[in-house]
Structure 1
Amino acid sequence: MDHATRRRRLLFLLASAAIPAVLAGCTPTVQVVAPKEPITINLNIKLDADVRLHIEEKAKEDVGTKPIF
């Protein structure tokens, strides 16, 4: 066997061993980890319009059913 043939076989063996190792190293990894601190949801909602609507409806109902004097 000549020197060029040995060299090609050696390169083929190295490539055959290296390709699976490279492909295994490229597989994506996904980790799901719970946060260490609790999740805080800040809901600063102004409910003024809703409250006024309920008060107005109640006032109309009271005026219609209860005499003022």
Structure 2
Amino acid sequence: MLSGCVTVNAPSEPIVIELNINITAEVVYRLAEDAGNTIEENADIF
């Protein structure tokens, strides 16, 4: 029979996890909704 050995070593440098969160779509949506409401409320000036 063959036997194996598994070694696990911790990395010498810290693990870095970068989280890039994109919130542009939500911001644009909210601005568009607010602009639409403003235009509806002040239709006479547009």
* Deviation for aligned residue 1:63: 0.1
Q: Which has the higher contact order (CA 8 A, sep 6+)?
A: 2
TM-score by length of 1: 0.35
User: Which runs of 5 or more structure 2 residues have no equivalent in the other structure?
Assistant: 1-15
1:15-67: CA deviations, max 9, x gaps?
xxxxxxxxxxxxxxxxxxxxxxxxx8743201110000000000000000023
Quickly say closer, same or farther: Cα 1:42–1:64, change in 2 above 3 A: same
- Which is richer in helix? 1
- Asked which structure has the greater CA Rg, the reply is 1
TM-score by length of 2: 0.50
Aligned sequence identity (%): 33
Q: Give the length in aligned residue pairs.
A: 30
User: Is 1:51 matched up with 2:27?
Assistant: yes
- Structure 1 ranges of 4+ moved more than 2 A: 40-43
User: Which runs of 5 or more structure 1 residues have no equivalent in the other structure?
Assistant: 1-39
